[in-house]
Structure 1
């Protein structure tokens, strides 16, 4: 993974000192709360419902064991001994003191970590596939280009105050696992006639107005990606709305202009920078790519793994094909039933760091599904990894199953939330706590968001749950048929919302309709696409008088 050079270290250390002085001035009354607000946001510090929330960057989801041990130490020393991994790969601390954040930043800097651009109307963390570099279906490793883009976006003076936050995702595999269709810019690496380049997608996003992005360039040579993205951002920065935060994202601009007119604007802007100093040279690519060379894989022969049923279940759900023979990628589940999805304790962080050192060359990944990946595990050592992960509460075999829920912190923490998310997740997990039943149901994604900002990606869940406010009471709207991947689609609202107590029953009825109607080897989405939404809707609302009682959120949809 990428290592800081002298310039990186100087940059980060100066930023730590700068924010330390800003906090001092705020405490002394030299900066008002309004003056301090943009400064703290630029350092990943929010004020949430009960306490500050501090967001730490994990660029394109890669981390080493020393960094994770530092996060464990920071969470124990300055917080309540745990953190929360988000759908943007980042780690959030929910209870730090504002006065402690400069000290936290200093400790993070020692292991080449920071909180830069984890909030604010700027270029956010670049994300990619959690199996980048090892995926069996990889066309091109996206990490070197993701790192080049990270360096380009960091402290970019022209784009520090965009109309709204801006997110970029890169996929280098046959199957898109980076939700690229729903980012401000989504990039698909591809090879055409031996040439490497990108399909460029613009204007995707979830949130209040969910939109699937549109292709503005089918093939862009990789050398031009910075200059072309800069052209996109200049058009957005010039014409994006600043009078209405709900209409300020680039997706609204693309829809307002139309993709063809938007493309014309971008191409005209790009004409000024194409072939200029923003062009990535082969030498620069090689310099960065040298940090992402394959580890020293060993030749591994045939392996006989134990036939233990629990272990075999874990193998089926939590291990993934690897491009190197004799190796597998392992997903450590942060979806243990009864625990908030994405949460991890300091003790667990240290256990994962030990596993990474012993079994995965000291490196690990964070996925946007809020799990941790050991990317390079020998198949001969999988049983040992499973036993140790199980002892740490990290081996729940529910990856891709109903209880492997993506979930935002919701109303338990977030000031923006309309409803709580975590209690709904734990109630559904409790209802579907039978592993035999979960495995029979098969592949299904359930995503929960506590508000329209969609941090839980509910729009692309096979089953999506959105918290809404009805007369100061918490209710939940359900969507079906959403999906990420190459065939990414937004879910469809099934009807009026449910109370918190009704949610487990509603999900169970949806699952029963699927099981009653599926053909052999048919997944939930296959059945949904074949029979449509009506059978699910009819069963869920069977016996429930709703008539015209459609809440405002449904009408708006």
Structure 2
């Protein structure tokens, strides 16, 4: 998994402290509800009918045991509404035939997040401080911004992997975090990356879907789709590029987001997603993105081109998993790989 360095740790801690200050000013009345809403959303806090919901990022689906224990502690100690809210919610549940509330629970989501549904906002700052102690946060897991970037759940160990997508996802995460141009988009914006031949990351269902591929010369790049989505208007993303050199992926995403920022609708949240814009504009959208990309690269000099040294810096932050003895593996199917590994690992055998 990705190892946070001292800068990463300090950044997460300072973001938690900033959120505590925002909550206190909101509680005191010096920060209005309208001003506070986007701030809490971009820290992962929704306000639902009976209680807030917290969404915590789990980048690339990887958790350490220390992080999992803290998530369990959050569920055990904080995931319970205040008494008056609890009674109101319980009355509503009883009308539906349910006798209890699913408190002290966490939910793992399809986009590698963890959600808690009953934490009072009065305890939100304490929860964020606790999460920060194990390098966890809710930064940009919600709000009209570029959300937590997700990968294939087997990223880094998949037998059918062309290249590990996690370093690219991490570079983009660092780039998009608190980026002012991406902070107030017309609507939420989700990116998924896979490096495997099988699209387990469901890239076609994302605002931007990226699949690592190789061209005829063996060079690594991305197949890029834009405008996918589920929800009330499900769509498969439109193919933008069959092959984009990997070094230019951030320049290209910047072009996509700039066009979306300029032409995306802000008058109707049900028509504000980029998938609606792509469907409405068709080839014109593709042309606008390509022209914006040309200007970024040719005129601005491609300021977000990924240098090899930067890629290596981030790649080294990922802890490599132990390699399996492939001679003992009957085939590449995951159960067989696990059984082979378990023959020499009693703890894994017990888990299986």
Whether 2:312 is the aligned partner of 1:286: answer yes
Taking a change above 3 Å as real, the CA distance of residues 298 and 214 of structure 1, as seen in their structure-2 partners, is closer
Greater strand share, structure number? 1
- Structure 1 CA distance for aligned equivalents of residues 261 and 5 of structure 2: 31
Q: 1:147-296 counterparts in 2 under 5 A?
A: 147-192=170-215, 193-258=217-282, 260-274=283-297, 275-292=301-318, 294-296=320-322
TM-score (norm. length: structure 2): 0.86
Shift of 1:31: 2.4
Query: Which has the larger helix fraction?
Result: 2
Once residues 214 and 326 of structure 2 are traced to their aligned partners in structure 1, the CA distance between those partners, rounded to angstroms, is 31
Unaligned runs of 5+ in 2: 80-102
CA contact (8 A) 1:303 1:380 kept: no
1:321 corresponds to which of 334, 340, 352? 334
What is the CA-CA distance between 1:8 and the residue it aligns to? 1.9
Does the residue aligned with 1:158 lie in a helix, a strand or coil? Answer: helix
Alpha-carbon distance, 1:143 to partner? 0.8
> In 2, distance between residues paired with 1:164 and 1:100?
28
CA contact (8 A) 2:329 2:337 kept: no
C-alpha distance in 2 between matches for 1:158 and 1:241: 16
Partner of 2:126: 103
The 1:320–1:45 alpha-carbon spacing in structure 2 relative to 1, beyond 3 Å, is farther
Q: Trace 1:134-145 onto structure 2 (pairs within 5 A).
A: 134-145=157-168
Distance in 1 (CA, whole Å) between partners of 2:179 and 2:42 is: 13
Cα shift readout 1:141-197 (whole Å, capped 9, x = no counterpart): 111111111111111110100000000001111111011111100011001121000
CA contact (8 A) 1:168 1:184 kept: yes
> What does 1:437-448 align with in structure 2 at a 5 Å threshold?
none
Residue equivalent to 2:86: none
Hey, what does 1:397 align to over in structure 2?
none
Q: Contact 2:342 / 2:348 at 8 angstroms: preserved in 1?
A: no
Alignment of 1:348-367 (within 5 A): none
> Within 2, Cα distance between the matches of 1:238 and 1:303?
53
Segments of 5+ residues of structure 1 without an aligned counterpart are 305-318, 330-376, 390-557
| Alignment CA distance shift 1:90-1:298 (3 Å) | closer
Q: What is the aligned residue count?
A: 325
Which one has a bigger Cα radius of gyration? 1
1:379 to 2:342 alignment: yes
Q: CA RMSD for the aligned pairs? A: 2.3
* TM superposition shift of 1:381: 5.9
Tell me by how many angstroms 1:292 deviates: 2.7
For residues 301 and 384 of structure 1, the distance between their equivalents in structure 2, rounded to whole angstroms, comes to 21
- Displacement of 1:6: 2.6
- In structure 2, how many angstroms separate the alpha carbons of the residues matched to 1:296 and 1:59? 20
Q: Alpha carbons of 1:99 and 1:176: their partners in 2 closer, same or farther (altered >3 Å)?
A: same
1:112 aligns with 2:122: no
Contact kept, 8 Å, 1:203 with 1:211, in 2: the verdict is: yes
1:343 aligned partner: none
Q: Is the 8 A contact 1:204 1:212 kept in 2?
A: yes
The question of 1:92 aligning with 2:92 is answered: no
**Pair 25,320 (structure 1): closer, same or farther in 2 beyond 3 Å:** farther
CA distance change for structure 1 residues 133 and 388 in 2, over 3 Å: closer, same or farther?
Answer: closer
Map Cα deviations across residues 471-520 of structure 1 (whole Å, 9 max, x no partner).
xxxxxxxxxxxxxxxxxxxxxxxxxxxxxxxxxxxxxxxxxxxxxxxxxx
Q: Are the aligned partners of 2:222 and 2:244 in contact in 1 as well (CA < 8 Å)? A: yes
